[in-house]
Amino acid sequence: MNLSSAKYRITYEAFSKLSGSLSKVESVEELGIVANRHLKYLFNFKMLRIVMLFKNETAVSFTFLKSKEPKIVDSDELLDYEKQLFKVKIPLLRALNTTDLPGHATALYENWNKPKLWGWHTTSGEREICFSLISDDTESFNHSDMEILNLLVDNITSRYFQIYLSQQLKTKNLRLKEAITEIELKNTEIERINNNQQNIIFRRTEELHFKNKKLLELSKLNAHDLREPLTRILGFLEISELYTDEDLRKSILPKLKESALELDLIFRRVVSQSEQTASNANLIENGYD
Backbone angles phi, psi at 171, to 5 degrees: -65, -45
Per-residue pLDDT of 208-232, as tens digits, reads 887 777 777 766 666 667 777 778 7
pLDDT of residue 258: 81
Q: How far apart (Å, rounded) are the C-alpha atoms in residues 23 and 17?
A: 10
CB 25 within 8 A of CB 159: yes
pTM score, two decimals?
0.64
Kindly state the DSSP code that residue 226 receives in the 8-state scheme: I
* 256 Cβ neighbours under 8 A, 6+ residues apart: 233, 236, 237
Closest alpha carbon to 138 in 74, 46, 222, 65: 46
Kindly state the DSSP code that residue 139 receives in the 8-state scheme: S
Q: In the beta sheet, which residues pair with residue 117?
A: 94, 134
Positions in the chain whose pLDDT score sits under 50: 1, 288-289
pLDDT of residue 286: 58
> In what helix (H) or strand (E) does residue 71 lie, and over which residues does it extend?
strand 71-74
pLDDT of residue 132: 96
Q: First CA to last CA across the chain, in angstroms?
A: 103
pLDDT of residue 136: 94
Q: How far apart (Å, rounded) are the C-alpha atoms in residues 197 and 85?
A: 67
Kindly state the DSSP code that residue 125 receives in the 8-state scheme: T
pLDDT of residue 58: 84
Q: Where are the alpha helices (DSSP H) in the chain?
A: 3-22, 28-39, 80-88, 146-221, 227-239, 245-247, 253-285
What SS3 class is residue 41? coil
CB 131 within 8 A of CB 49: yes
